[in-house]
Amino acid sequence: MNEKILVPVLGESITEATVSKWLKNEGENVDADEPIVELETDKVNLEVPSPVSGVLTKINSKDGSTVEVGAVLGSVSQNGENLTKKDDTKKIEPEVQENNIIKLEPQKEKEKLEIFDNETEEKPLVLTQEVKDKDQTTKSKIDQSLSPAVRKIVSEKKIDIESVKGSGKDGRILKGDLINLMGVNPPSSDRKIKYGQEERIKMTRLRQTIAKRLKQAQENAALLTTFNEVDMTNVMNMRKENQEDFQNRYGIKLGFMSFFVKSCVVALKNFPAVNAEIEGDTIVYKNYYNISFAVGTEKGLVVPVLKNADELSFADIEKNIKEISEKAKDGKLTIEDLQGGTFTISNGGVYGSMLSTPILNLPQSGVLGMHNIVDRPVVVDGEIKIRPIMYLALSYDHRIIDGKESVSFLKMIKENLEDPRRLFLDI
């Protein structure tokens, strides 16, 4: 009996998907509810499980094909046999006996040889070490023969001096030899050699959706960005002082994101326009606080949602962010994980970004950009001191948020982070 593998309901407004990858081949055994094929939609990747245990007898839709909801992807036979296992069954050859002498089969002779090889493994290791020591000695002698100027260039440019032919006395490497070497045109890149002058790869559905939504944000919203800087000293000290106790009690590290989420929630409550959206000629104020946070994956940027962030503790925030981030990187996010956000936090600082102008995640009206923390000289109480500084950027829809509101909103986040005790006093 054959059971059909169908494209499931994919979520609101999603009617089709792309077959990303089959996880099983025709003829392979599958278990009931075992992931059998991966589909890619506009928002998430999802795995379709086998409806029954049996053998995958047919694949109707190959990798890269577009399928609609309810379409037949393939079929599984409950009574089928594992064809691949049949092929993999090893034949046991009888031992050959001549003149009452039992001969080892070729395979057994090979195994015997491997055993002897393993027994002599230590000796080559000693020889390898000797060769290594010899190479190090040779390299040391070469390094000693170099002038200080040559050694500096070799160190800075990471030049393999063994590949350099010296023009000095007794083959000594001179500064001019290195300069001539650096003047040689470098070889073509590995990608150019492998793929040619250009590569053309079809955009994934996720990448197409990202491009479409970002363009919509630029065209449909009055985008503006305001900036501020925050001294992270007190947050960093609080994390350092309480990290061990926090981790022992809750089983997770105290990160920066929980402080930023808490700070944003406080600011959103005080400036409700930043947590609102426009529907036609109506402003919809959201009295719940679902914080979206950007996660970079191999397939592109996704923005899962931390639901009801105002009702979560620091530990709950850290646990939920870790869980959702792992799902995003593993491609296991659901449609529900991506819906319902009211405000977005984007942390480009994890990649080393110093400053940026983040783009809105429509229909939201605001997005906060975090950046790298760098020690900078600042004036504190009339004295110049070195402090860990982060630049903050708030991009917002100027149609609904005025300049005064945006600046005041960002200033409140700054104040909460520079004095994190405020977060516990609800001020």
CATH architecture of the domain formed by 205-425: 2-Layer Sandwich (3.30)
Once rounded to an integer, what is the mean pLDDT over residues 41-70?
82
User: Residues spanned by CATH 4.10.320.10 within the chain?
Assistant: 130-182
- The pLDDT, as a whole number, for residue 42 is 65
User: Residues spanned by CATH 2.40.50.100 within the chain?
Assistant: 2-88
pLDDT per position as a tens digit, 212-262: 877 888 888 889 999 999 999 999 999 999 999 999 999 999 999 999 999
- The pLDDT, as a whole number, for residue 37 is 87
Instruction: Check if the beta carbon of residue 380 is closer than 8 Å to that of residue 387.
Output: yes
CATH architecture of the domain formed by 2-88: Beta Barrel (2.40)
75 or 129: whose pLDDT is higher? 75
Once rounded to an integer, what is the mean pLDDT over residues 341-359?
91
- The pLDDT, as a whole number, for residue 213 is 79
With a cut of 70, say whether residue 108 has pLDDT above it.
no
DSSP letter (8 states) at residue 292:
E
The Cα 27–Cα 269 span in angstroms is: 58
The Cα 167–Cα 170 span in angstroms is: 8
With a cut of 70, say whether residue 331 has pLDDT above it.
yes
**In 3-state terms, what secondary structure has residue 232?**
coil
- The pLDDT, as a whole number, for residue 90 is 45
CA angle, 401 as apex, 398 and 405 as ends, to 5°?
130
Once rounded to an integer, what is the mean pLDDT over residues 95-122?
45
DSSP class per residue in 64-80 = T-EEETT-EEEEEETT-
Q: Name 389's Cβ contacts closer than 8 Å, sequence gap at least 6.
A: 229, 230, 231, 232, 373, 374, 375, 376, 378
With a cut of 90, say whether residue 98 has pLDDT above it.
no
- The pLDDT, as a whole number, for residue 407 is 96
- The pLDDT, as a whole number, for residue 349 is 86
The Cα 167–Cα 81 span in angstroms is: 72
Instruction: Check if the beta carbon of residue 77 is closer than 8 Å to that of residue 21.
Output: no
Q: Name 413's Cβ contacts closer than 8 Å, sequence gap at least 6.
A: 228, 230, 260, 263, 264, 267, 368, 392
Q: CATH: 2.60.120.700, 2.40.30.110, 3.30.750.24, 4.10.320.10. Which one for 130-182? A: 4.10.320.10
With a cut of 90, say whether residue 339 has pLDDT above it.
no
Mean pLDDT of the chain: 80
186 or 297: whose pLDDT is higher? 297
- The pLDDT, as a whole number, for residue 184 is 55
Helix ranges restricted to H, 70-222: 83-88, 106-119, 122-145, 148-157, 175-182, 190-195, 205-220
Rg (CA), the chain: 31
Known catalytic residues? 398, 402
- The pLDDT, as a whole number, for residue 33 is 84
| Residue 290 φ then ψ, to 5° | -105, 110
pLDDT per position as a tens digit, 154-209: 777 666 667 677 777 777 787 777 766 665 556 677 777 787 888 888 877 777 77
151 or 72: whose pLDDT is higher? 72
Once rounded to an integer, what is the mean pLDDT over residues 324-346?
86
With a cut of 70, say whether residue 122 has pLDDT above it.
no
The Cα 421–Cα 108 span in angstroms is: 73
In this structure, which amino acid lies at residue 409?
F
pLDDT per position as a tens digit, 388-408: 999 999 999 999 999 999 999
The Cα 302–Cα 213 span in angstroms is: 12
Longest dimension (CA), the chain: 103
- The pLDDT, as a whole number, for residue 115 is 38
Once rounded to an integer, what is the mean pLDDT over residues 107-117?
44
Q: Is the pTM of this model over 0.85?
A: no
142 or 158: whose pLDDT is higher? 158
User: Residues spanned by CATH 3.30.559.10 within the chain?
Assistant: 205-425
